[in-house]
Structure 1
Amino acid sequence: MKKFVKIWKRLFIGIFLCSVLVGILLFYVNILEKELNDEIIGVLKETSEQSVVILNKEVEGEFILLEEVSDRLSVRNGFNPEEAVAELEKVAKRYSVKRMGIIMPDGQAYTTDKKNLNLGDREFFMDSLRGKRGISGRLQDKDNGEDIVVFSMPIYEDGSVCAVVFTTHRIAEIQNLFTVSIFDGKGYSYIIEENGDIVMNTTNSTGFKGYDNIYEALGAASGSNAEAVDEMHADLENQERGYIRFHNKIDKYMYYSPLQIKNWYVLNVVPSGVMDSTRDFIMLLTYALCGVLGAIFASFILYIIKTEQKKKKELSNILYVDNVTGGYSFARFSAEAKKRLKEADTNTAYIVMDVDQFKIINELFGYEEGNETLRYIWQMCRRYSKENEIYARRIADKFVALWYFDSREELDGRIKGFLEALQKNYPDTINDYILKVSFGIYIVKDKTEDIQHMMNYATMAHSSIKGQDDVQYAFYDDDFRQRMLQEKLLEDQMKLALQHEEFIVYYQPKYSVTTKKLVGAEALVRWRKADGSTVMPGKFIPLAEKKGFISYLDKYIFAEVCKKQKEWLEAGKEVVPVSVNLSRRHLYNDSFIEEYVQMVEDAKVPAKYMQLELTESAIFENQEALCQIIDRLHAMGFRILMDDFGTGYSSLMMLKSISIDVLKLDKSFVDDFDDPKGQKIITSVIELAQALHMEVTAEGVETEEQYEFLRKLGCNTIQGFYFAKPMPEEEFERLLN
């Protein structure tokens, strides 16, 4: 009896121990599965957020193009849709679009493909007519019924919307542009409206076919998708992101995130096998090992722990290892950066860098050589990084790094040393190519700040030096931020100043060398604020050129001079020609000639009284196109002056190729008149110009000695303080009298 009780007692203890063990294992399995599921969903979320960023940038790119076109087409007086369409035809040839066109307020469209359409009922047209950017959903072309998407932008005449410019893309063509490939092509994406209508379908062979609504497609794919459809529908109604698991021949995940475009969502679809394989393997192995109880209990637990760690590492490698360099992926870098910023007790810099004109390496030497260059940069980053510093390739040829430093001087030295070593150690296989890397650096102020913001600041600094061959890095610091704010404030003030006519014209008289009589003038711009203070040109002209505002300012000054010349002519004054500066931005806009001719005709001023000055740098950059432009301007009666000759890229061939009427010697030449070499140069330039039938105007003449020297050489006209300083129009008018 005692033996029987003892057996039952042992059996009970065994059952109890086994139950405890099984309970512990089941508890562990549940936690493990939840953790892996959470990690999978986290990957889906991160991938979806990256897709949203990419798609938003693509759409923003479309709007930037339309905004540039709109700015070019906006006019002061008399918008002509036929002329605008002629301009659009040039743009349409450079881009893959179905059509571009202009919609007038009555809805009538003028298109580059000459279709007779009325688009007055289109929602995008209504939005742009109210001054907004417009973008359609999936539409059917009124011409041939094709599926299309349309982008639109208002055009302004005298500050009011006078028409709408639009770009039509075939869904089939734009689909490739807006479809984001994920998980090495195994995943794919859709863009849908809030009601489930598909805006952009996928070209992936495993996607839904023949459906215009995602809910209908899910329902038709399998009856088991009903619950998933309801869950997704509820999330989209509440404008929330989320995910579902559904069946379409195989099980798949779908993660949906809102875009910053209308009420659209991006859906990222990944076969569950891609995401679940590692998890399922771990879980299968775990369940199998749960059957082994008793004697191998300890080894069983140890094996599970090791297996879990191994598989987690494999999953981490998939998610956190860059496929080109073998180092950190950007996702891993961002996660590590957050941790290390919290732990760092020294100054920290967030750095972005990229290879200037990296596409040339791929085009000249092949993509594998390009990848070798990326691996080389990553290796150099590793060599030059201190302990606990991290670095990674973000995308394409763009890298990010987190560096520690004690002083700004030390950081400057490290960057210069890195740049020098990068070029010095560049592989011999492509030693004919000069590797140039540029940096943007953000000095971290608050280590709890969002990582994305840090990257944005560093990128802003990096963008500020793009195109500057002599600068390879820039800092985003308080000075940089202050400059940005000041530039933005000054830019806004300039726009308001133009509206309020605060810009005024000063005249720099030109005198004949032989007769000392007034024979012309140069129009200069001054900014007189409403409070009476004056902003000098050296402060606002460079910013106006940088921001493109200079073209509006040039046209304003030209129009003001036209009006004043008209007044003087009607008053019977002996008018002299006035030259007005023409920035090189006008050379990229073929319509500027018609605009300037129209201003002269409106003022009823003969073109011989209006001259145009081009800087030497503008001529150098656009010689072929400029020849045609100058010929057209000559045909209209304008004389062309080359300003600041000798300060840029002067060449004899340029003087031979470009039909210039007047060559303006820069003040730097005149200042060297008493130097033997300087005298020879001035003499040669004047003789050459005269041989080419060009007149010569000397700028910056201030002394009697300079005047006499130039007179003896046969210089035609003089401009400078020797005769007169720049003066307001009232004072110049007295000179005319």
Structure 2
Amino acid sequence: MMRYSKREKWAFLALAAASILMLVLVMLLMRHVRDLLISDFRISLAEIVTQNRNAIASRLQLEFQAVNASAARLTEEIELKFPAGDPGTVRRYIAQYGASHNDGRRFVADDQGLVTFGDGRFIDIAGRKYFREALGGESNLSDRIISRYDGENIFVISSPVRADGRPAGTYQHALSYEDVREILTAPLFASSGRAYIVDQAGYLVIGDQQMSENYFRELYANGNPDAARRIAADARAGRDGFIASRIADEPMFASYMPIDNTKGWYLIVTVPAAAVFPNGRVVVNLFYGILFLVVCSSALAMAYFLWYKSRQQARLKEIAFVDPVTRGDTYAKFLDEAGELLDRRESAYAIVKADVDNFKYINKFFGFEAGNQVLRDIHGQIAGQLAGTERVARITGDNFVLLIEDACPERLGALFKPLAHEDMVIYFSVGAYLVENRNEDLSIMIDKAGIAAKRVKGQVHECFAYYARELEAAAVHNEMLKHRIRNALRHDEFVPFYQPKVDVLTGRIVGCEALARWRTDDGAFIPPGEFIPISEQTGMVLELDMMIYEKALAFLRRGLDGGLERVPVSVNFSKMHLHLGRFFDKIRDKAEQYGVPPGLIEIELTESTFFDNFQDMSVFSRRLQDCGFRGCPWTISARAIPR
């Protein structure tokens, strides 16, 4: 049996002590690193919950504004009709108003809580808390209640109605459970997380239906009494916070904070620990293995943990703030940061909205991956020219939004100059809104920039416009014009006018051009410069072109049948026809149907888009010539020639 000296025994003891010390140090280090990761995650999760809470508050504010506006209009109407504000007269008027306007969603009650419906029914809501608070002058949102109208679960937004400065009744908007769920459920930062809306006592307002009615009791029942008491105390005090718990034996993290414009409602976002630390078990085993290596391996382990921490933080930020297509900021991050910049800085700002002209053709002919690459290139071109106090994000599809300090024409021209990409040139439609009122809702500013962008949609020589109040009227006019064009096509109001082509040497008519004209039922004419651009933007020009072509064929056929000498007729077509297939067959078949010789027909293609596909036009030209059609088969221009 081997014997060890006293010195060797002390060495072994020292080695064992050193090993134990290293184990303790490593375990303490692991716990410290884990605490750091949890701390960073807690901050990131709180930021995400704050953004979602702010988004929910904005949506609720819009609902409150709509109800308050309706109540204000009714108040104004009552005070105009009954200046004296006699209670009995006002009650009768509210009953009459309710009989013609009340339904299950929106209803008005008099100061005694009586709601009158058109079918003769009456409902008494005097005992409802939302009615009493609104009658006291406070607009409010109720808890979930049972509707006395149809028995459904609803939430009610209520606002006071006044007469001569005194409470005269209330105006209500009832929201279904699904309506409120849509308002209160903001997008989560990860698919594995869950969001709940609870009241101040922990009862579930919106969330997972599989959970019990009370979130605090659910925590307590799953063995988390401290966490349950802490969140309950914070809810009573109106504080936000962060807790760690176990639900069904699964470690969970939760961040919570109160929602504005509600009676103590709280937004709670829970995330499984496995989603935060998906490789946590592997990391622990790795550290225990490092324990038996030389001391220098500890440095490698620390480096690994630092990388792991950075990766987790980057992963959270990428999920919440990075657009999956452009790799730039998401629209949600833009709204948050743009709002902060507008509040914090005094610089003159402009909101810019832009989209790609005819982007659907890129996806159709080059594929979605090519379309995504175009979006990335566009984002890169714009982002590379922005200052640190400016922002850009993709809203959805090919729509981009910017917050910039300098929105002069030269700057906009540089930001949105035509972008060459492989076999195509990308053009933009851009609208700019110069911020005047910083208290205005950011989404309304973006809508105003969008109205300006629509004015230049499809115009190559003018790619951007500035918002003016007149543009809203123009947008309404264009929408009405689209509807009128559709009706005109159905009622056959478009007719060809034939413009002669004269030989300047002989004075003889050698041909004519069929020009599309719109003659309404009352005999008035709509200028082509007004309806042609709208027709091309909406695609209705395809039907319009074929209508004029067929009427020109009928015109030639009548002349031939009458024994008259006919000259060639030119008919204009939008180049959009080339992208739909069988265009040549349609032209040839229609000519054969009317028995018109191809030599009497000249086809002209006008170009109004950014797409130039000369190969398709060359093939189409050869087929026209082989079939006997006359003349140059196309005319290329930067925009459609008025017909």
CA contact (8 A) 1:419 1:437 kept: no
Among residues 81, 85, 92, which one is paired with 2:94 in the alignment? Answer: 81
1:252 matched to which residue of 2? 252
Name the Cα RMSD after superposition: 5.1
| CA 1:113–1:101: 2 relative to 1, 3 Å | farther
CA contact (8 A) 1:85 1:102 kept: yes
Once the two structures are superposed, the pairs formed by residues 390-401 of structure 1 within 5 Å of their partners are 393=393, 396=396, 399=401
2:199 matched to which residue of 1? 193
CA contact (8 A) 1:82 1:110 kept: yes
CA distance in 1, matches of 2:433, 2:393: 14
Deviation at 1:83, TM superposition (A): 5.3
CA contact (8 A) 1:333 1:390 kept: no
Among residues 314, 317, 330, which one is paired with 1:316 in the alignment? Answer: 314
CA distance in 2, matches of 1:51, 1:110: 39
* 1:283-314 residue CA offsets vs partner (Å, 9 max, x unmatched): 42453334323xx3213422441453155225
CA distance in 2, matches of 1:334, 1:231: 33
1:34 matched to which residue of 2? 35
Give, as a single letter, the amino acid of the residue that structure 1 aligns with 2:379. W
Q: Secondary structure, in 3 states, of the residue corresponding to 2:5?
A: helix
Is 1:302 the counterpart of 2:286 in the alignment? no
CA distance in 2, matches of 1:134, 1:112: 26
| CA 1:654–1:327: 2 relative to 1, 3 Å | same
Is 1:175 the counterpart of 2:169 in the alignment? no
Is 1:236 the counterpart of 2:235 in the alignment? yes
1:51 matched to which residue of 2? 52
Deviation at 1:418, TM superposition (A): 3.4
Deviation at 1:197, TM superposition (A): 2.2
Deviation at 1:332, TM superposition (A): 8.6
* 1:648-681 residue CA offsets vs partner (Å, 9 max, x unmatched): xxx9979989xxxxxxxxxxxxxxxxxxxxxxxx
1:164 matched to which residue of 2? 170
CA distance in 2, matches of 1:373, 1:246: 46
| CA 1:285–1:460: 2 relative to 1, 3 Å | farther
Deviation at 1:169, TM superposition (A): 1.9
CA distance in 1, matches of 2:127, 2:31: 56
* 1:589-619 residue CA offsets vs partner (Å, 9 max, x unmatched): xxxxxxxxxxxxxxxxxxxxxxxxxx99999
* 1:184-239 residue CA offsets vs partner (Å, 9 max, x unmatched): 43222222211122222336xxx41xx3322333344x2x1222211111111221
Deviation at 1:34, TM superposition (A): 1.0
2:412 matched to which residue of 1? 416
1:484 matched to which residue of 2? none
2:429 matched to which residue of 1? 435
1:606 matched to which residue of 2? none
CA distance in 2, matches of 1:68, 1:360: 39
CA distance in 2, matches of 1:299, 1:40: 27
| CA 1:26–1:269: 2 relative to 1, 3 Å | closer
CA contact (8 A) 1:119 1:125 kept: yes
Gaps of 5+ in 2: 83-89, 456-463, 484-517, 525-643
CA distance in 1, matches of 2:360, 2:166: 47
Give, as a single letter, the amino acid of the residue that structure 2 aligns with 1:66. V
Once the two structures are superposed, the pairs formed by residues 102-121 of structure 1 within 5 Å of their partners are 102-111=108-117, 115-121=121-127
Give, as a single letter, the amino acid of the residue that structure 2 aligns with 1:247. R
Deviation at 1:17, TM superposition (A): 4.3
Give, as a single letter, the amino acid of the residue that structure 2 aligns with 1:39. D
| CA 1:333–1:299: 2 relative to 1, 3 Å | farther
CA distance in 2, matches of 1:63, 1:46: 25
Deviation at 1:415, TM superposition (A): 2.8
Give, as a single letter, the amino acid of the residue that structure 1 aligns with 2:81. N
| CA 1:164–1:331: 2 relative to 1, 3 Å | closer
1:525 matched to which residue of 2? none
CA distance in 2, matches of 1:355, 1:281: 47
Q: Secondary structure, in 3 states, of the residue corresponding to 1:199?
A: strand
CA distance in 2, matches of 1:350, 1:302: 50
1:265 matched to which residue of 2? 266
1:225 matched to which residue of 2? 224
2:217 matched to which residue of 1? 216
* 1:467-514 residue CA offsets vs partner (Å, 9 max, x unmatched): 34577579xxxxxxxxxxxxxxxxxxxxxxxxxxxxxxxxxxxxxxxx
Give, as a single letter, the amino acid of the residue that structure 2 aligns with 1:195. A
Deviation at 1:3, TM superposition (A): 8.4
CA contact (8 A) 1:187 1:270 kept: yes
Q: Secondary structure, in 3 states, of the residue corresponding to 1:189?
A: strand
Deviation at 1:149, TM superposition (A): 0.4
Identity %: 17
CA contact (8 A) 1:349 1:441 kept: no
Once the two structures are superposed, the pairs formed by residues 321-470 of structure 1 within 5 Å of their partners are 321-328=322-329, 353=351, 355=353, 374-385=375-386, 393=393, 396=396, 399=401, 412=408, 415-421=411-417, 423-425=418-420, 434-436=428-430, 438=432, 467-468=451-452
Give, as a single letter, the amino acid of the residue that structure 1 aligns with 2:429. L
Gaps of 5+ in 1: 93-97, 341-346, 443-452, 475-541, 547-584, 586-614, 626-650, 658-737
| CA 1:357–1:383: 2 relative to 1, 3 Å | closer
| CA 1:284–1:100: 2 relative to 1, 3 Å | same
| CA 1:58–1:331: 2 relative to 1, 3 Å | closer
1:4 matched to which residue of 2? 5
Deviation at 1:123, TM superposition (A): 1.6
CA distance in 2, matches of 1:355, 1:200: 34
2:625 matched to which residue of 1? none
2:284 matched to which residue of 1? 284
* 1:392-446 residue CA offsets vs partner (Å, 9 max, x unmatched): 537655656788xxxx6xx74763233431x555897896x8532546689xxxx
Deviation at 1:146, TM superposition (A): 2.6
CA distance in 2, matches of 1:430, 1:323: 24
Q: Secondary structure, in 3 states, of the residue corresponding to 2:416?
A: helix
TM-score by length of 1: 0.51
CA distance in 1, matches of 2:111, 2:72: 18
Q: Secondary structure, in 3 states, of the residue corresponding to 2:379?
A: helix
Q: Secondary structure, in 3 states, of the residue corresponding to 1:266?
A: strand
1:131 matched to which residue of 2? 137
Which shifted more, 122-131 or 306-315? 306-315
| CA 1:270–1:440: 2 relative to 1, 3 Å | farther
Q: Secondary structure, in 3 states, of the residue corresponding to 1:381?
A: helix
| CA 1:252–1:381: 2 relative to 1, 3 Å | same
CA contact (8 A) 1:155 1:163 kept: yes
CA contact (8 A) 1:66 1:165 kept: yes
Give, as a single letter, the amino acid of the residue that structure 2 aligns with 1:81. I
Give, as a single letter, the amino acid of the residue that structure 2 aligns with 1:60. Q
1:450 matched to which residue of 2? none
CA distance in 1, matches of 2:363, 2:117: 42
Q: Secondary structure, in 3 states, of the residue corresponding to 2:187?
A: coil
CA contact (8 A) 2:357 2:428 kept: no
Question: Number of residues paired by the alignment?
Answer: 452
CA contact (8 A) 2:204 2:213 kept: yes
Determine which structure has greater relative contact order: mean sequence separation of CA pairs < 8 Å that are 6+ residues apart, divided by chain length. 2
CA distance in 1, matches of 2:264, 2:361: 40
TM-score by length of 2: 0.57
Deviation at 1:255, TM superposition (A): 2.0
CA distance in 2, matches of 1:368, 1:297: 53
Which shifted more, 28-37 or 301-310? 301-310
CA contact (8 A) 1:155 1:165 kept: yes
CA distance in 1, matches of 2:14, 2:314: 41
